[in-house]
Structure 1
Amino acid sequence: MTKYLFQGKYVGEGIKGLMQEGGSKRREAVIRALESVGGSLECIYYAFGETDVVGVFEIPDQPSAAALSLMINSSGAVDLRLTPLMTPEDLDAAAGKTPSYRAPGQQ
């Protein structure tokens, strides 16, 4: 399972819905959405400013994460951004690889 950081901003009718339902009911909706694709919620927090909601969830695969993101964003009520998270061991494995790359404009 991969962990994702999610950040969302409620827009339009989403703001009205959040004010009407409150944070606890929206958390329940997030849990149900995640369970529908085999995922689980680790934490969720509400904020104010540029980001309205932030948290971490686990989900089994990238297609499930993409499907969830597409479904939520297509509602027009939330602008959702997902960031895959890596463990320190994942970064160790990445640092041990030596890919080949030529930067633009270099020979």
Structure 2
Amino acid sequence: MPKFLIQATYTPEGTKGLLKEGASGRRSAVDQVVTGLGGKVEAMYFAFGADDIILIVDFPDPVSMAAVSLTVKASGALHTRATPLLTLDEIDEAARRQVAFRAPGM
């Protein structure tokens, strides 16, 4: 299953919701969304600094991740970014593939 790192920052409205609902309430909401699309939450942490929340999630396919991303961003409660995570085996496979490439000016 594809794995993704999600980093998010709450907007002021989203922060108000977090204060009202608490961290466990948000975890339940995240679990419901992810499992509803056939995925799994591997880890969920709250932080302070540039990001307010960090998750590692598994989804059956990238389209499921995109669907969640679009829906969450449309809510206006969070600013998010998702990074696909690759295993060592996947990088080894990528390194074995031949790619025809010519650098600019070469």
TM-score (normalizing by structure 1)? 0.95
Structure 2 residues not aligned, in runs of 5+: none
Q: Secondary structure at the match of 1:82?
A: strand
Cα deviation for residue 39 of structure 1 reads: 0.7
Q: Secondary structure at the match of 2:58?
A: strand
Q: Give the number of equivalent residue pairs.
A: 106
Match of 1:77 in 2: 77
- Dislocated runs of 4+, deviation >2 Å: none
Residues 1-55 of structure 1: CA deviation (Å, up to 9, x unaligned): 1111110000021010011111111011000010121111001000001100002
CA RMSD of aligned residues (A): 0.9
- Percent sequence identity is 43
More helix by percentage: 2
Cα deviation for residue 99 of structure 1 reads: 0.6
Structure 1 residues not aligned, in runs of 5+: none
CA distance in 1, matches of 2:80, 2:39: 17
CA distance in 1, matches of 2:6, 2:15: 18
- The one-letter amino acid paired with 1:75 is S
Match of 1:63 in 2: 63
Cα deviation for residue 103 of structure 1 reads: 2.3
Query: Matches of residues 1-107 of structure 1 in structure 2 within 5 Å?
Result: 1-104=1-104, 106-107=105-106
TM-score (normalizing by structure 2)? 0.96
